[in-house]
Chains A and B, each alone.
Chain A
Amino acid sequence: MSTTIKLYGAKQSTCSQTVKVVAYEKGLNVDIIPCNFAVAEHKSAAWLEIQPFGQVPYLDEDGFKLYESRAMSRYLATKYADQGTQLLPDLTDLKAMALADQFMSVEASNFYPYTSGIAKEAIFAPMFGGKTNPEALEKHRSDLKAKLEGFERIFAKQDYLGGKEVGLADLYCLSMGVLAEKVFSDIFDDPAKPNVAR
């Protein structure tokens, strides 16, 4: 029986969703405790004590607190390595871990900036009373398209970023990737990149 993990965040926050997806794959219970944005709870002194950048989410498991969605995800994948889907290689396998780190870094630098840029311009800006900047949006889209050529080369050689099986790096792509697809429905469906589509 696993402990219940408390995630202080928001259902609709992509970072909260990343942690939820990982927890789901590991067969873990997660309670989402919503941050009260109406009173800017995430900017309160109490919150900043735990998450110094005033962001969501943070995790609390039996008093152990952690933030940064990828760090939280990696913690769950490591601590619960023996249950659910295996999302990391054997931690003592130097080369396998290096490749896992490589592809997790790929997601952070070659995927996320562009998918989150798309989401920010096309979804979040209007949602929060701002305006989409069409030039910025188009730049993110064309930059992402160029980066997907790199992903195409990777997926021509392996099934997932995690290798033969899904790994953390693949799951990290999901929450912002899904939003980017909502904006540009064919972004991952380019006939020139069949392996990305697969």
Chain B
Amino acid sequence: MSESQSILKLYGTDRSTCCQRVKVVAYEKELDLSLEAVDMMGKEHKQDAYLAKQPFGQIPYLDDNGFTLFQSRAICRYIAMKYPNQGTKLLPDASDIKAVSIFEQAINIEQADFDPNASGLTMQKLFLPKRGGKTDEEQLKKHVDGLRMKLDGFERILSKHKYLSGDEISLADLFALPYGTKVEICYPDFFHDSSRPNVRRWWDAISNLIMNLDYQNLLRDLDPVQCTLAPPNRDNCTI
């Protein structure tokens, strides 16, 4: 924990996947993050005061001494860039343009080739039923098959180096954790397919980072005390 960090306030909810993404990165950077609860049930995120900070009415946004920022991946990049010398190194050296570009490539791989199917699958299989809705089996299959196909690409990448952007872990790997963890709740062996040994190795490495039980439970959407699925949050705006 750093004594010299500014007060970082994250406006969101405990169980929002995008808030978890920021929390994971803050944890790796040994930063204190103050979670400010947004009253989703009371539609606080749709009020003008909130829309002035986050124009899409989504969570989370960050307030760093009056500097506000939204989009969880941008928030993560900001705190990693602001505190490069503490915690785990999660960004390449800015002066190495090739390393930076391979890093950007990995960042895009997570956002374009992992997130859409991982989040779609999670919505159909986990979130919708929890909120009293119905799984669209066709959509679910599309996301499951789609993610499997993309993991073939991941297998090719991870056969060449340990993590998505090289042999060191980076933000790109951590960005996959929150939805990846939820995919694993839905399908426990999803990342342990024998045809993709490198995906398995990578997934075990990044999911084992969060050794702190509270964080493991948080990412798995479990109540840390009872270790069961938490009651549904019907207005969970997880984008």
A interface with B by C-beta (< 8 Å): 48, 52-54, 64, 66-68, 70-71, 74-75, 78-79, 91-92, 94-95, 97-99, 101-102, 104-106, 108-110, 113, 147, 150-151, 153-154
**With a CB–CB cut-off of 8 A, which chain B residues contact A106?**
56, 71
Q: Among A53, A147, A151, point to the contact of B153 (Cβ < 8 A).
A: A53
Say whether A101 contacts B77, CB under 8 Å: yes
Contacts A54-B153, A66-B105 given; 14 further ones with Cβ under 8 A? A68-B108, A70-B108, A71-B105, A75-B100, A79-B97, A94-B78, A98-B69, A101-B73, A102-B74, A104-B74, A105-B71, A105-B73, A110-B56, A113-B116
Q: Smallest CB-CB separation from B48: which chain A residue?
A: A153
Q: Mind listing 29 A-B residue pairs with CB under 8 Å?
A: A52-B153, A53-B113, A66-B105, A67-B105, A68-B109, A70-B104, A71-B101, A71-B104, A71-B108, A74-B101, A74-B104, A79-B97, A94-B81, A97-B77, A98-B74, A98-B77, A98-B78, A101-B74, A101-B78, A102-B71, A102-B74, A105-B74, A106-B71, A108-B111, A109-B239, A110-B56, A113-B116, A150-B56, A154-B55
A contact patch SS: helix
**Minimum CB distance partner of B155 in chain A:** A52
| CB-CB nearest in chain B for A15 | B112
Residue of A nearest to B61 (CB): A102
CB within 8 Å for A94 and B82 given contacts A53-B153, A68-B104: yes
Pick from A52, A105, A150, A153: contact of B157, CB below 8 A: A52
- Chain B residues contacting A153 (CB-CB under 8 Å) are 51, 55
Knowing A66-B102, A68-B104, A153-B51 are in contact, say whether A53-B150 is a contact too (CB < 8 A). yes
Pairs of residues from A and B, 6 with the lowest C-beta to C-beta distance, nearest first:
A52-B156, A150-B56, A153-B55, A68-B108, A105-B71, A53-B153
Q: Across the interface, do B78 and A71 meet the contact criterion of CB distance under 8 Å? A: no
> Within 8 Å CB of B112, what residues of A?
68, 108
Interface centre among B98, B108, B156 (most CB of A within 10 A): B108
CA distance A94 to B55 in the complex (A): 22
Q: How far is the CA of A113 from the CA of B115 in the complex (A)?
A: 11
A106 to B157, CA, bound (A): 26
Q: Nearest chain-B residue to A154 (Cβ)? A: B55
Q: Chain B residues near A113 (CB, 8 Å)?
A: 116
Q: A154: which B residues are within 8 A, CB to CB? A: 55
Check if B211 is an interface residue, CB within 8 A of chain A. Answer: no
- Residue contact B81 to A150, C-beta cutoff 8 Å: no
B154 cross-chain contacts in A, Cβ below 8 A? 52
CA distance A154 to B157 in the complex (A): 37
Chain B 100-126 per-residue mask, 1 if CB under 8 angstroms from chain A, else 0: 111011011101110010000000000
CB of B70 closer than 8 Å to a CB of A: yes
Rounded to whole Å, the gap between the CB of B76 and the closest CB of chain A is 9
B residues in contact with A71, CB < 8 Å: 101, 104-105, 107-108
**CB-nearest residue of chain B relative to A99?**
B69
Give the nearest-CB partner of B160 in chain A. Answer: A52
The residues of B that contact A151 with a CB separation of less than 8 Å are: 55
With a CB–CB cut-off of 8 A, which chain A residues contact B239? 109
B55 contacts which chain A residues (CB < 8 A)? 150-151, 153-154
Q: Give the one of B97, B107, B154 with max A CB within 10 A.
A: B107
Task: Give the contacting residue for B70; candidates A66, A70, A78, A102; CB below 8 A.
Answer: A102
Smallest beta-carbon distance A69→chain B, Å = 8
Chain A residues contacting B97 (CB-CB under 8 Å) are: 75, 78-79
Q: Which residue of A lies closest to B158 (CB)?
A: A52
How many angstroms from the CA of A55 to the CA of B78 in the assembled complex?
A: 30
* CA A114 to CA B82, docked complex, whole Å: 33
| Contact yes or no, A97 B57, CB < 8 A | no
Contact call B111/A150, Cβ cutoff below 8 A: no
- By a CB distance below 8 angstroms, the chain B residues around A68 are 104-105, 108-109, 112
Minimum CB–CB distance for A50 against chain B, Å: 10
